[in-house]
Structure formats: structure tokens, C-alpha cells
Amino acid sequence: MSSETTSPRLRLGSTAPDFEAETTQGTVKFHEYIGDGWVVFFSHPEDYTPVCTTELGAMAQLEPEFKKRNVKLIGLSANTLESHDGWVKDINELSKTSVNFPVIADKQRKIALLYDMLDYQDTTNVDEKGIAFTIRSVFIVDPKKTIRTILSYPASTGRNSAEVLRIVDSLQTGDKYKVTTPVNWQPGDDVIVAPSVKTEEAKTIWPEMRIVKPYLRFTPLPKEKATVV
């Protein structure tokens, strides 16, 4: 794997670090894998663990929805390819699905370190080699290789896969229409006109805009544009 062993300080807006890794779908160069689309990159602490098994199954079930949005999935687990192969069979059986996206073999946790996907809470989260355990991290990366979302969950808490998809919808809608999305927003709901757009200009762009407060202005998207492509 070609990557540095020290973790950069990753923030929203950072360029996602590139790496090369062995996966269940062969060798992957991350930036090449992203290509001109989006990627959801998510990590797991260990193979054959109960929470991880349910999560990977759920992501596999949702993969067709991600594909509709030009989003690729790629997972990571701190184990070997041989272990991954057997575990994926279990996931497919239990979730009645097929894991078709690559799962990175990161036994030495080099990529987990590169992306700071590690749990430093206490010594119980460090193995016999003194390496912190990998946690449940999610990175949503756009076509410019920019990190747009970072989520971290403790090892004991399974992620909400539908929420990851919802975040993608929000990001893509915001990019396309220069709007923001309110709490609990779902595709088709009204959006918020960005504060940077002056009210008079906003009225011409969004004739159905309703002003709740000068800083809080809602509008529906045009019917033919309500679905993210």
C-alpha cells in the first residue's frame, strides 16, 4: 500500500488522501476508484462481528440506490482478504443480498491510521500490539476528491445506512441548486434558500419562496427537478 503512516488532519473540505490497497475486488487506487463520481468510504473494526455484519448487509441492499446517484461504495475492515472472503459469504446469506463493492483488507490498520479511523478512548480499545481499534467511520467524497462528510460511531453502535443516503441526497441537491436543506429533510421536501442570495434575487429564482424570517426562506424545488440525478 502506498500511503504515509502518519494521519493528516482531515476536515470537511480536505482532499481525501489517496492510497493503494488490496480488496475483495482486487487492487484499488482510491482516487482512480472515485473517478468522476462520488464515493462513500466506510470502515469496520473486525470481520465476523455482529454489528459490522448487519451494516455491510444493509449497505449492499442499498447499493442500487447509491448507484442511481453516481455513488460508489467501498468498505474497510481490519482483517485479511482470506477472512473477508468467508465473512462476505456470511453477510450475503444472512442479509439475502450480494456484497458487490470492494472491501479493503487493512489488517495492519495503515489506511485506518491514514484516515484517523481509530478509537483512542481508553486502553481497552488498544490491542496487544498497542494499536488502537478501528471504529465505524464514514467519509463521503465528491468527484473533486473533496471530503464532504465525516461521521464516526463507537464500535458498539451500528450506523443508519438510510441516513448516509439522505446526506448524499442533501449534498447533491445543494450543489445542483445552491440551496441548503433543513432538519429531517427528505428528497421532495422544501429546501432553504441560501443566506448569500439576496431576497429580491431569490424571488426571481424561486417564485414560490416563502419568507418565515429574513434569514429563513423556504422554497419547493421545481417539480421536474425534485429528484436528484
Do you know the residue count of the chain? 229
Three cell numbers, residue 225: 427537478
DSSP 221: P
DSSP 15: B
User: Which residue matches cell numbers 453477510?
Assistant: 91
CA distance 113 to 108: 9
CA distances to 58, 94, 132, 140 from 135, in Å: 18, 23, 9, 16
CB distance 179 to 191 below 8 Å: yes
Which listed residue (10, 21, 34, 52) is catalytic? 52
Query: CB count, 10 Å around CB of 91?
Result: 24
Active site residue 99: no
The angle that helices 81-95 and 50-68 make with each other, rounded to 10 degrees, is 80
Q: Is 72 helix (H, G, I), strand (E, B) or coil?
A: strand
- Residues annotated as catalytic (active site), given as ranges: 52
